[in-house]
Structure 1
Amino acid sequence: MQITRSSLDTVKGPGDWFTGDVYIDPVAAAPPPSRVQANLVHFMPGSRTHWHRHPLSQTVFVTEGVGLCQRRGGPVEVIRAGDRVLFEAGEEHWHGAAPNRLMVHVALNEGDADDDVVHWLDPVTDAEYAAAPSTGG
C-alpha cells in the first residue's frame, strides 16, 4: 500500500488546451510499467476543452454539475453527475461545462507505448458550443 499525501497545487488549465477557466487536480499517475493517469478537472460555466483525441481512448466520469460533450460530426450531448462517457481511441471530441453550470469530472487516460496521452487540436468555436441542446435551466 502507498499513500500519497496531497502536496500538489491545483493548476489552471493552459489556454492552448482550454477555453475559459478550467482547474486541474492530479488524482493518479501510476508508476511504470503502468501508463494510467487520472485528473479531477473543474470547468467553470461556459469553459471547455479544445478539440482533442487520445491514442488509447478516454473515460470521463462526471462528479458534479452539468456539462456538454461532442464527438466530431455528432450532436452535442448534455452530461450530468453520475454519467460516464467513453471516447474511443482516436475519436476527436471535446467536453466542458454548460453555459450556466459548472461541471467537474474525473478524466481517466492511458498513455500509449510512446507515453502519448492526448493530441490537442483546434479550439471549439462559439458556434459549435452554441449548438448544445438546453440543459434545463
Structure 2
Amino acid sequence: MRHIAIPLIFAVSLLFGCQQPAENKLDAIFPQGQKGPAEYFTGNAYNYGLVPMDSTYTTLVGNVYFEPGARSNWHTHPAGQILIITAGKGYHQIEGEPVEVLQKGDVIKCPPNKKHWHGASPDTGMQQMYIVPNTEKGVVNWMEPVSDEQYQNIN
C-alpha cells in the first residue's frame, strides 16, 4: 500500500496538459484530461483537475472519465471521498459489500479508510466528479487491481 500526497494523476495532468477527446460518446461537461497510470487503473481512465489541493480549502476536486470497461484499483482515502456521476454508467464497490450500479445523477460517499473501487460498465463509459475533503489527512492509498472476477460480480 502506498500513500500518495498529491495524486499521481494530477501530477501527470499538470506536466502534460489536457486534451479533449476526439470521440467522447458521453454528454461530458468537462474535458477528458490526462490518462491515468496503468499501475492504478485497468483500462483507460482520464483525470481533469478542477480544484487543486491547497491549505485554505483542503479539498481536492476533479473529474475522471472511464472508458467502457475501465476501473480504478482498490484504494482508500484517509478522509473519505464523494463521487458525483455526471454521465454514463458504472460500478462502485466497498470491500465486503455488493457492487453498486452507478448512473448519471448518483452521489456516492466513500467513507474514510474504506477500501473501494469504481469504474465504467463494460459497454458504457462513465464520468464522475470526485471530491476529496480534508487533504491535510492525506489523499489516496493505492492498492491492488480489481480482478476481472470481482469486476464481473454484478448482482
- Which category of TM-score, normalised to the shorter sequence, fits these structures? 0.7 to 0.9
Aligned residue for 1:96, secondary structure, equals: strand
Q: Output the CA distance in 2 between the equivalents of 1:28 and 1:91.
A: 23
Alpha-carbon offset, residue 112 of structure 1: 4.0
Q: 1:25-82, CA deviations, whole angstroms, 9 ceiling, x for partnerless residues?
A: 1011153232101111000000000000000010000000000010001101101000
Give unpaired runs (5+ residues) of structure 2.
1-16, 19-32
Q: Output the CA distance in 2 between the equivalents of 1:88 and 1:41.
A: 19
1:63-74 counterparts in 2 under 5 A?
A: 63-74=86-97
Question: Are 2:146 and 1:127 equivalent residues in the alignment?
Answer: no
Aligned residue for 1:113, secondary structure, equals: helix
Q: 2:83 aligns with which of 60, 82, 102?
A: 60
Structure 1 or 2: larger strand share? 1
Show the counterpart of 2:74.
51
1:16-27 counterparts in 2 under 5 A?
A: 16-27=39-50
Q: 2:58 aligns with which of 35, 44, 65?
A: 35
**1:86 corresponds to which letter in structure 2?**
K
Show the counterpart of 2:139.
117
Aligned length: 126
Question: Are 2:11 and 1:11 equivalent residues in the alignment?
Answer: no
Percent of paired sites with the same residue: 34
Q: Is the 8 A contact 2:60 2:135 kept in 1?
A: no
What is the TM-score with the length of structure 2 in the denominator?
0.77
Aligned residue for 1:42, secondary structure, equals: strand
Show the counterpart of 1:91.
114
Structure 1 or 2: larger helix share? 2
Give unpaired runs (5+ residues) of structure 1.
1-7
Superposition RMSD on alpha carbons, in Å?
A: 1.5
Q: 1:87-127, CA deviations, whole angstroms, 9 ceiling, x for partnerless residues?
A: 0001100000000100000011024435x200000000000
